[in-house]
Every structure is written in structure tokens, then in C-alpha cells.
Amino acid sequence: MTEPSGSRGGPSGMLSADSISMSEDVRDYVFENSRRYHKYSEGRYHFPNDDAEQEREDMQHAMVMLLCDGKLHFAPLENPQSILDIGTGTGIWAIDMGDEYPAAEILGIDLSPIQPLWVPRNVQFLVDNIEEEWVQPPNSLDYIHSRQMAPTIRDWPAIIAEAYKALKPGGWLELQDLKCVVGCDDDTMQEGDVLASYAKTLAQALRRLEIDCIYSIENYARWLREAGFVNVQEVVLKAPLGTWPKDPHLAKVGLYNRNMIYDGLHGFTIRPFTHGLGWTPEEVEVYLVDVRKAVLNSTAHIYLPFHSVYAQKPLRPQTGRSR
């Protein structure tokens, strides 16, 4: 196994016994319905990795940063030395963390080798399947971060257990996700709203593929406590969909969110609906016509809940699990 791409060094040890470095032959892809998908551990991730999806991911990062007032994390980090980003995607969060914490070594892992080659010297990337058994050395990481992985992971308790082992005593795990639910706090959203219906149908499609993204987010805190984590905290924010908020800052968040979702609709939908619900590609395209119109033209005061759940590995072994 050769050294991962990016900088020299990095968090000690690799992640799973199945890890493959970026320098090896992992740049094969699978093409389906005009979209490009990862080849390594084919079929584990149901969303594309092509240029259009990468642009959407970077827009999502910009939106989340606006929503969170520029915070890359909510966990109270103090001089972290070793950081892991699960499902790093384009690597934009890991790169920003490398700039914010120049003394730390940041490793971003993903099934797709789509990260840039030119990155800060303290950042590196690795192709790996996080749902395989980790071989990351125990007690080796200060912070583990995951964003928008609820629509991907099938067994969160197993991931959380692996993270617990890999963290140093006092280290933090943080799980950030936009929930696949359309919220509205007034009477502007009508019964049968197209976007609310779309979110429910997408969640249903993922459940058919053995991924319950809504249930996962709602149970992060419980699973963290059951794994032995302490100081479990949850931040819930509202990401507007559209420019309806009177507050200029939130209106800008809503603009970014609307553009991100509009650009991502085909990628979000095509494989979950065809593989999970048995729709034809033509049926998906027809269905998305009205969904796209709703994204652009909705006057309802709607939003997507954004959850950040973070917790700490105890400084000392616990005699019993924290509840």
C-alpha cells in the first residue's frame, strides 16, 4: 500500500484493511443514466461523483458555512493534532480545516478519488470504505467529522463504535446532516406540497435500499450515548429553501440552498428511484419537471432542518454506559 495523496505523513495508520491509496488504480468509474458513480465498493453509495455533483457539494459546503456563521464544527476542539473526515467528497471541508488548524494532520476518506491534488501540506486523502472494519490505531484521533452521510450509512451503531475506539480519550465525534424533511412553521405550505412529497418519496426510496436517513439522524444522540460517549450535544438549525426570510443573511442561505437542491435533484433522485422504487429513468425525468418548478417558484416559508450532533469520548474508562 502506498502513501495517500496530498501531504506527507497524516493520522497514523490506515482506516480499513480494504483501504486503497489514491496513487493506485482506483480511478475507474461506473456510468448509468448519464451520471458517473464510484467503482471501488461499487453500489455502496447511491449518488454520483461527476463534475456536476462536485459543484453541488461545494455549494452545499458554502451554504452550511453560511448557516453555521462560518463554523466548520461545533465540537469544542482544543489544539487538535489528528483529524478524520468521513465521506470527504470533494475534500473542501478537510482543506478548510487544514487551513484553520495548520498544526493538525487531516485525513479525508471517501469511496471516490475526486479530491484535488494541490492541498495544504497537512491534508491528505484516501479511498476507503468506512463501512468495513477499521484498522485505525486505537486512541489515535482527536476529532472525527461526518457531514451528509445519513443517506449513505446502513449501520450507524457500528460506525460509531469504530469511531469510539479510534478516538483518544477526550476526543470528539461530530455528525452533521440536512434532514430529508421539509419543515414549515406557518400556514404557507399547502397540503400535498410538491417538495414535501418529494422529500418523503426520496426517503422511502432510500429505505428500500436499506438506508433510513431520517431515523438515523433522530437516533444519533441515543447511539452515541449507548456507545459510551459523554457530553452529547445537538444543534438544530433551519436552512431556508428560497429567499423568503426577511433577514438578509438567512435569505442568502436560502438562495444557496435553493440553488444547491435544484442542481442536485437529478443526482439525488435517479439511482434511488430506479433501484429503490423500480421507476424507469423516463418516469424520473417526468416527475422531476414539477419538482424543479416547485424549487424555483415555491412561495411557502419552508426549510430543511440541519442537525449537528457531537459527543466526547470520556477521559477515563466508564464503569457503565452514559445514558
pLDDT value for 35 = 84
* Alpha-carbon span 171 to 164, nearest angstrom: 9
Task: Check pLDDT > 60 for residue 15.
Answer: no
Task: Check pLDDT > 70 for residue 322.
Answer: no
Taking the CA atoms of 220, 221, 225 and 231 in sequence, report the sign of the dihedral they define.
positive
Name the residue among 28, 6, 1, 3 with its Cα closest to residue 125: 6
6 touches 125 (CB < 8 A): yes
* 234-262 per-position pLDDT tens digit: 999 999 999 999 999 999 999 999 999 99
214 touches 181 (CB < 8 A): yes
Reported pTM: 0.90
**Higher-scoring residue by pLDDT: 111, 157:** 157
DSSP strand pairing (29-32 vs 35-38): antiparallel
Q: Which residues pair with 311 in a beta bridge?
A: 173
* 79-97 per-position pLDDT tens digit: 999 999 999 999 999 999 9
Task: Check pLDDT > 70 for residue 5.
Answer: no
Least confident window among 20-24, 85-89, 111-115, 121-125: 20-24
Task: Check pLDDT > 70 for residue 175.
Answer: yes
